[in-house]
Structure 1
């Protein structure tokens, strides 16, 4: 069973996060993500305030403590500035993701984000979402249409042999699962919850293939 097309899934995922409460940035664990950018500003200004919005209230004290340690280390050991800053970024993002119920697998380099997420930020900076939604609509329509047409075409020959029948079933299931995946993403909780949902969906597809 084929997995949901990555670009389309991310498009739907962003759509779900955009219109639902509790949304978070999908690229919060990258060096060019919004969390690190705010952390860099905080360190330069020696003011922890800009980053407190990224963590839950009960985690503020831990962030303040980590921030204080980072600022002291940067001052005492300028040669270790980058290392101390990276350690602080990792701590901040770990706490942020924990607050969203997501795991932290390490700080990722700048540029390691899905193209659709970069487009989302571009639209946000420009103050207009029109171009972004046009691209998303195109991807979604293309993905659904492709699978729909294949299912319709194979249905015409489903009773000719067992093999053509299996081809039809595979195409039909791919079509239904694809649409179901889109609906689940939009109707889901949004945020990092979707990472778990996508993994479960892919695991389901793998099991279907083995069967």
Structure 2
């Protein structure tokens, strides 16, 4: 996954900031697995007490809380914790479009982008298969090259389909409701 949930400008840290500013740990709890609630709550309480000791303590307490929340969030995803990343890291084009969709309630921008990208990729891979098909009788190496390209195309299509129907963390459950 592109750097995002574990970045200073990602949704987990943004929720942690809102929680600290509002004095309400509940604002960040949706981002952590239920088994991590106690640890996050205890970390929140410690951070809130330390924040009252001055600006340096506040900065340190906030960072401690961000690190805890991101670590617990990542553990809930079954992903390793590699620290809180700086803001502004490249996220690729899909994440910002998905965020805009969440804000607007419309997936049209994401759909347009992904459908265009998928069409280009499928056309490119199939074009390679088609070009190589004309030479399958030339030699065994040429036929092998065709078979590799054909299998690459078919496996790519399968992986896209599998990804489309995977749960939010690739657990095999459908992402669709109802």
User: TM-score category by the smaller chain?
Assistant: 0.7 to 0.9
In the alignment, the residues of structure 1 paired with residue 93 and residue 114 of structure 2 have an alpha-carbon distance, to the nearest angstrom, of 11
**Cα distance between partner residues in 1 of 2:133 and 2:64:** 57
2:143 alignment counterpart: 165
Gaps of 5+ in 1: 1-9, 11-24, 195-211
Partner Cα separation in structure 1 for residue 26 and residue 119 of structure 2 = 43
**Residue among 66, 76, 86 paired with 1:89:** 66
- Structure 2 partner of 1:100: 77
**Matched ranges for 1:3-18 at <5 A:** none
Q: Is the 8 A contact 1:74 1:80 kept in 2?
A: yes
Is residue 2:34 matched to residue 1:57? yes
Q: Structure 1 residue runs of 4+, over 4 Å off?
A: none
Q: How many residues align?
A: 171
Name the counterpart of 2:50: 73
Please give the TM-score of this superposition, normalised by the length of structure 1.
0.73
Partner of 2:5 in structure 1? 28
Kindly state the Cα deviation for residue 66 of structure 1 after the two structures are TM-superposed. Answer: 0.2
Provide the C-alpha distance between the structure 2 equivalents of 1:139 and 1:174, rounded to a whole number of angstroms: 17
TM-score normalised by the chain length of structure 2: 0.85
**Aligned counterpart in structure 2 of residue 154 of structure 1, from 132, 135, 145:** 132
Equivalent residues of 2:4, 2:10 under 8 A apart: yes
Unaligned runs of 5+ in 2: 173-178
